[in-house]
Structure 1
Amino acid sequence: MQPVVPYPFRHELDQRSGSEWRISGSLMELSVGTPCSFSSCRKRIPKMHASRNKTKLLGVMMMVNFLIYILVEVSRSYSKWDSTKPRIPSEQFWKKPEISKAFWNRNQQHLDYIFNPLIISSTATTTSVSHTKRTQNSTRPNSTTKAEHCEPDFNITAQIKDYTSLPQRFKDFLLYMKCRSYPLLIDAPGVCSEKPFLLLAVKSLTPHFERRQAIRESWGRAGILANRSVATVFLLGKTTGSDFFPNVSGMLRYEASMNGDLLQWDYRDSFFNLTLKEVLFLEWMAERCPSARFIFKGDDDVFVNTRNIVNFLDGLPKSKTRDLFVGDVISNAGPHRDKNLKYYIPESFFVGGYPPYAGGGGFLYSSDVGIRLRNISQHVSLFPIDDVYTGMCLQKLGLVPEKHQGFRTFNIEEKYRESACIYQTLMLVHPRSPQEMIKIWSWISDPELSC
């Protein structure tokens, strides 16, 4: 194939327009001359401008028509909607929950319905306030007043299918489940006179004199600790001969007169009634000791490093004190179904899992949380395990207890149990005997202790 060799070439494309192409070698140029002088050229120019104006006008008219269409559609849709008529969705958006077969769940569903804020507010607009209060009081779980004596509710025997096969302790709980208000037999009016920074509320039994005294001489000593005021109360029910307890009522009255730190209510003190003890204490705290800033609540067989608790509270920012609730938190737990276990819960009574809760050996919370717990507890049906019940109340408040490594409700490793420095770093250890409480307190109170 032979190569094509460019050669000079010149050609006039249009003499009338004055434009020409010049090709010189490999270079091609477009040369634009002056417009033609013919009359035909001058005639075409106005025609081109007229066509361009028509196109612009057509575009503007199309835009105007489009905007008019949008305005018409919007006005038409608004004309169809009547603000005075309710808008009913085409599909069902709410389904009434099925009534549970388990007794506690069924009872709680009833309370949730009664205390639903939407229902209460709508009722208040159509009825008088006094009538609303009477209606609520008649359906509250604590239907007894302080002046009334609580009688067993035998109707409950027909509401639980396997009632006759339940352990006696569970039958007793069910019979008195609706009773929440009991007379206060022994009060401690002077405990909160100094507005304590920390109130120690200790669950105890009337015969446990030795434990209470050991606590008074060690971690529960009332007074000033780490420049903060500390007060202590012991929470008691009544122990009766039917539970094979000796009669120590005279000794108890003497103890109360000597120390002024006992609270006793006229109800049967039993394991399943610890929830009742919790509810009664919250009522007392809200009425008699609202000035306490923080509350520790625990058993009478624990050791508590009260100094560590005070230092922990002093170091908290104000933003964290309002919703404070810390302890040895248990999560993802559920009811035990073995009748031989202490914590047995029958399926006919409760179904579902437990919310996160702090072990009942001891936990710490602010007085603000305490007041809210007292209020919400009126809307939560009693449950036979007190720490689980507190977790249920917290869940209703939208709060989750916070786990703190200093709370050891399941003890510590045996090799560390005789180490003073271990107790120096902890807040609570369970269980400990009265002798061990006094010994450990002397260890961590020694000014020469070096850890």
Structure 2
Amino acid sequence: MANFSLSRLHFQCCFILLGMSVVIYVIGTFFEGSKVWLNSFSMFQTANNHTLINVTHLTIYNETVNQQTSEAIHTEITTLSRDNLTDMLSTKSMTTVPVKEASSIQYHQAYPRNYRFIIDEPHKCDQEKPFLVLMVPVAPHELEARNAIRSTWGNESVVQNKTITVIFLLGLPGNEAEKQQEELKLESQRYHDVVQSDFMDTYINLTIKTTVIMDWLATHCPQASYAMKVDSDMFLNLENLMNMLLAPDTPKENYITGRVMWNIPVIRNTNSKWYVPKELYAEDYYPTYLLGMGYIFSNDLPEKIVEASKEITAFNIEDAYVGACVKRIGVSPSSPPNPSQFKDYFSGTYNREEFASVITTILQSPQQLITFWQDLKRPT
């Protein structure tokens, strides 16, 4: 009887040890899988407290990551602060996130046709037949910036007998989303120049925003000759721009120009706003690209850039990413005829002659744009 009890005890101990081994293996596999999953999702490597946003359901996932472990805490929210979103979202946006089922998370790449337009102007180019389309990426809440553009360079619909169309491209609002969305619909109905896609509109999603711009041009406005991606804080002198585009030696295909950036090193410092891990971009230097504040391109390029984006892993430096796409299709960015016309800063002192000679300059506020524009347009 004692031998039987001992054997039974031995069997039970073996069974318990076997069970514990299985549990340890499962836990180890989970954490190893989490490590692989996190490593493949680069934005988790940039800081310790990251947040992912489900663009459809606004479900937030806080991830605490270090070298050994990762732990997910799930919390549903209904409103998000844009300031908090700015450094939280990856260039891969969540689309299907069952609550507390992290293993089933699916992602969209920056490839723009993963997204759809929820406010659109599908017939804008058919109606206006523009020579040049100005695509302005802007945040949903930046109404003041949009109105400043509408009352200045965005109001110049015909320059040197060529039609110009302005489109404001934006994503989903984070803060006070329902109220802002209703205001955007009313703004669209009033001005017919707002296009909105269903990605979260944050700084780190600028790569998505830019590829969506290219997709809109390719699918909605292929008849235009040229397009320009121009930031909402820019002064733009359209007379000078049109002089450049209408010059007889300006290429009509495979052409992209602006403030050219050569031999720019990739930042590997995880504390930097511009950090990019090797998993997303392996080279130590970016390909030649155009500074994102404002660059001009022949309108055959958007479709080619969209196609190239299928093959190039997205990373969060949007202008360098466009440079990588352009390199893939065999196009080299061109220096403008007069590089000094593309200024990447404002000295702080307004000079009328200087603003009369440039194509682009970064400004500090929408009111500054209005003030300088009014002065530049006054009779001499």
Instruction: Using structure 2 for the length normalisation, give the TM-score.
Output: 0.70
User: Aligned-pair distance for 1:172?
Assistant: 3.5
User: Match of 1:236?
Assistant: 170
In the alignment, the residues of structure 2 paired with residue 347 and residue 373 of structure 1 have an alpha-carbon distance, to the nearest angstrom, of: 22
Cα distance change of structure 1 residues 256 and 367 upon mapping to structure 2, 3 Å threshold:
same
Cα distance change of structure 1 residues 154 and 300 upon mapping to structure 2, 3 Å threshold:
farther
1:428 to 360, 375, 380: 360
Task: Give 3-state SS (helix, strand or coil) of 2:129's partner.
Answer: coil
Task: Give 3-state SS (helix, strand or coil) of 2:184's partner.
Answer: helix
User: Contact 2:123–2:220 at 8 Å: present in 1 too?
Assistant: no
User: Aligned-pair distance for 1:155?
Assistant: 9.0
User: Contact 2:89–2:204 at 8 Å: present in 1 too?
Assistant: no
Is residue 166 of structure 2 the alignment partner of residue 166 of structure 1?
no
After superposition, what is the alpha-carbon deviation per residue over 1:148-198, rounded to whole angstroms, capped at 9, x for unaligned? xxxxx9896254498755332477335635364112110013421221011
Structure of greater Rg: 1
1:183 to 105, 116, 127: 116
User: Match of 1:379?
Assistant: 311
After superposition, what is the alpha-carbon deviation per residue over 1:233-282, rounded to whole angstroms, capped at 9, x for unaligned? 000000224xx878411211111000000010111111221111121222
Letter in 1 for 2:120: D
In the alignment, the residues of structure 2 paired with residue 335 and residue 395 of structure 1 have an alpha-carbon distance, to the nearest angstrom, of: 16
In the alignment, the residues of structure 1 paired with residue 169 and residue 335 of structure 2 have an alpha-carbon distance, to the nearest angstrom, of: 25
User: Contact 2:345–2:361 at 8 Å: present in 1 too?
Assistant: yes
Kindly report which structure 2 residues correspond to 1:113-128, keeping only aligned pairs within 5 A, or say none.
Answer: none
2:290 to 336, 343, 358: 358
User: Match of 2:150?
Assistant: 216
Is residue 200 of structure 2 the alignment partner of residue 200 of structure 1?
no
User: Match of 1:324?
Assistant: 255
User: Contact 2:110–2:211 at 8 Å: present in 1 too?
Assistant: no
User: Contact 2:39–2:45 at 8 Å: present in 1 too?
Assistant: no
1:342 to 273, 278, 292: 273
User: Aligned-pair distance for 1:398?
Assistant: 1.6
Q: Which one is further off, 188-197 or 386-395?
A: 188-197
In the alignment, the residues of structure 1 paired with residue 240 and residue 146 of structure 2 have an alpha-carbon distance, to the nearest angstrom, of: 21
Kindly report which structure 2 residues correspond to 1:77-116, keeping only aligned pairs within 5 A, or say none.
Answer: none
Task: Give 3-state SS (helix, strand or coil) of 1:220's partner.
Answer: helix
User: Aligned-pair distance for 1:230?
Assistant: 0.7
Letter in 1 for 2:244: F
Cα distance change of structure 1 residues 217 and 307 upon mapping to structure 2, 3 Å threshold:
same
Letter in 2 for 1:433: S
Letter in 2 for 1:342: K
User: Contact 1:186–1:265 at 8 Å: present in 2 too?
Assistant: yes
User: Contact 2:91–2:110 at 8 Å: present in 1 too?
Assistant: no
User: Contact 2:276–2:315 at 8 Å: present in 1 too?
Assistant: no
After superposition, what is the alpha-carbon deviation per residue over 1:125-161, rounded to whole angstroms, capped at 9, x for unaligned? xxxxxxxxxxxxxxxxxxxxxxxxxxxx989625449
User: Aligned-pair distance for 1:336?
Assistant: 1.3
Cα distance change of structure 1 residues 397 and 362 upon mapping to structure 2, 3 Å threshold:
same
In the alignment, the residues of structure 1 paired with residue 315 and residue 321 of structure 2 have an alpha-carbon distance, to the nearest angstrom, of: 6
User: Match of 2:57?
Assistant: none
Q: Which structure's residues are more often strand, by fraction?
A: 2
Kindly report which structure 2 residues correspond to 1:219-368, keeping only aligned pairs within 5 A, or say none.
Answer: 219-241=153-175, 247-317=179-249, 320-352=251-283, 353-368=285-300
* Unpaired runs of at least 5, structure 2: 1-32, 51-86, 95-106
User: Match of 2:375?
Assistant: 443
Cα distance change of structure 1 residues 208 and 400 upon mapping to structure 2, 3 Å threshold:
same
1:157 to 28, 34, 37: 37
Q: Which one is further off, 334-343 or 299-308?
A: 334-343
After superposition, what is the alpha-carbon deviation per residue over 1:418-441, rounded to whole angstroms, capped at 9, x for unaligned? 111101110000134111111222
Aligned sequence identity (%): 27
User: Aligned-pair distance for 1:216?
Assistant: 0.7
Higher relative contact order (CA 8 A, sep 6+): 2
Aligned-residue RMSD, C-alpha:
2.6
Task: Give 3-state SS (helix, strand or coil) of 1:322's partner.
Answer: coil
User: Aligned-pair distance for 1:366?
Assistant: 0.7
Letter in 2 for 1:282: M
User: Aligned-pair distance for 1:410?
Assistant: 2.5
User: Aligned-pair distance for 1:412?
Assistant: 4.2
Letter in 2 for 1:233: I
Q: Which one is further off, 199-208 or 273-282?
A: 273-282
User: Contact 1:406–1:428 at 8 Å: present in 2 too?
Assistant: no
User: Match of 1:402?
Assistant: 334
Letter in 2 for 1:219: W
Letter in 2 for 1:267: F
User: Contact 2:135–2:166 at 8 Å: present in 1 too?
Assistant: yes
Aligned residue pairs total 291
Letter in 1 for 2:118: L
In the alignment, the residues of structure 2 paired with residue 172 and residue 156 of structure 1 have an alpha-carbon distance, to the nearest angstrom, of: 17
User: Aligned-pair distance for 1:393?
Assistant: 0.8
User: Match of 1:122?
Assistant: none
Task: Give 3-state SS (helix, strand or coil) of 1:333's partner.
Answer: coil
User: Match of 2:30?
Assistant: none
Cα distance change of structure 1 residues 321 and 155 upon mapping to structure 2, 3 Å threshold:
farther
In the alignment, the residues of structure 2 paired with residue 166 and residue 263 of structure 1 have an alpha-carbon distance, to the nearest angstrom, of: 31
User: Match of 2:26?
Assistant: none
User: Match of 1:132?
Assistant: none
In the alignment, the residues of structure 2 paired with residue 163 and residue 275 of structure 1 have an alpha-carbon distance, to the nearest angstrom, of: 13
